A = this chain, B = another copy of it.
Amino acid sequence: MELTHAFSLLHDDIMDGDRTRRHRPAAWAVFGAADAILAGDALLSLAGEVLLEAPGQSSGRAARELSAATRRLIGGQARDLEFESRRIIGVDECVAMASDKTAALLACSCSIGAVLDGAPEPLCTALAEFGSALGIAFQLVDDLLGIWGDPKVTGKPALSDLRSRKLSLPVVAALNAGTAQSERLAELYATPAAPDEPDDEASEEETDEEDARLEEMARLVEAAGGRAWAEAEAGRRIEAAGARIAAAGLPAPVRAEFLHIAHFVTGRDH
């Protein structure tokens, strides 16, 4: 599972063009895109092999579920790319995209151990649903950090998702709020991004203008309710994840570990 996650990160970094990930240079920035893509493919292939080589009757089923999750992840990433070429994206389709791109792998991560061990179907389903709710919460928190996260903690520049005009969940919610702020935000999002630092192509003045735009965008997302919605929605998903795990009939220490994971994953900067 960690192998598939690493595959996902390697490809994601390249497509997003992020040169750092958690304060360390991204693999593609160090080794080049071709080698990073190959490393991701090798990890993906290896993840399937590890499952298929596990003893017991359930290794085939576990491998199928990992493949299905990987395919959803890929579909979600493709939809995310497609969004970049569109002007209007609904909140529901954006959540569905995150559900495929992020939550499918977390759902599989949380349940695949039980699947591999031949656990009863209802337990496997409960663990997958826990992971799925957690995955959406994780994406919402990640998107909030992409705007308001502390660069010292996130390792990314301030307002980085606004800088790249990313249609993240709080932004999409704000754009769909139907307020005057939504309209102004759409206008600003339509302006091309300027580089972080002045260079040959961008004067200092252009860089300052862009910084002012980014500050205004962040205020607009908040004023249009995008931030409050994303925070509340993340809370609802974490609550749903907790309820799902509470009803799964797990021993108390195991349940506590899953809840610990939920808070670890979603509390990265708060």
Do A63 and B74 have beta carbons less than 8 Å apart?
no
Q: Which of B34, B35, B41, B63 contacts A41 (CB 8 A)?
A: B41
User: Using Cβ atoms and an 8 Å threshold, which residues of chain B touch A71?
Assistant: 42, 45-46, 49
User: Using Cβ atoms and an 8 Å threshold, which residues of chain B touch A37?
Assistant: 11, 37
CB A3 to nearest CB in B, in angstroms, measures 11
| Sample of 8 further A-B pairs with CB below 8 A, known A45-B70, A59-B60 | A11-B37, A11-B41, A35-B78, A38-B74, A44-B45, A45-B71, A52-B67, A60-B63
Do B41 and A67 have beta carbons less than 8 Å apart?
no
Q: Which of B34, B64, B81 contacts A15 (CB 8 A)?
A: B34
The CA of A157 and the CA of B45, in the complex, are separated in Å by 34
CB of A68 within 8 Å of the partner chain = yes
* B-facing residues in A54-76 (Cβ within 8 Å): 59-60, 63-64, 67-68, 70-71, 74-75
CB A39 to nearest CB in B, in angstroms, measures 8
- List 4 A-B pairs, minimum CB-CB distance, nearest first: A49-B67, A52-B64, A45-B70, A42-B74
CB of A77 within 8 Å of the partner chain = yes
**Interface set of A (CB-CB < 8 Å, partner B):** 11, 15, 34-35, 37-39, 41-42, 44-46, 48-49, 52-53, 59-60, 63-64, 67-68, 70-71, 74-75, 77-78, 81
CB A32 to nearest CB in B, in angstroms, measures 8
User: Using Cβ atoms and an 8 Å threshold, which residues of chain B touch A11?
Assistant: 37-38, 41
Residue of B nearest to A76 (CB): B38
Residue of B nearest to A70 (CB): B45
Q: Which of B38, B44, B70 contacts A77 (CB 8 A)?
A: B38
Q: How many copies make up the complex?
A: 2
User: Using Cβ atoms and an 8 Å threshold, which residues of chain B touch A77?
Assistant: 38
Do B38 and A81 have beta carbons less than 8 Å apart?
yes
User: Using Cβ atoms and an 8 Å threshold, which residues of chain B touch A34?
Assistant: 15, 81
The CA of A38 and the CA of B14, in the complex, are separated in Å by 12
Could you say which of A11, A38, A42, A78 has the most chain B C-beta atoms within 10 Å of its C-beta? A38
Do A67 and B38 have beta carbons less than 8 Å apart?
no
CB A18 to nearest CB in B, in angstroms, measures 14
The CA of A96 and the CA of B38, in the complex, are separated in Å by 18
The CA of A70 and the CA of B60, in the complex, are separated in Å by 18
User: Using Cβ atoms and an 8 Å threshold, which residues of chain B touch A70?
Assistant: 41, 45
Do A45 and B63 have beta carbons less than 8 Å apart?
no
User: Using Cβ atoms and an 8 Å threshold, which residues of chain B touch A75?
Assistant: 42
Do B67 and A60 have beta carbons less than 8 Å apart?
no
Asked, given contacts A15-B34, A42-B74, whether A63 binds B52 with beta carbons under 8 Å apart, the answer is yes
CB A84 to nearest CB in B, in angstroms, measures 10
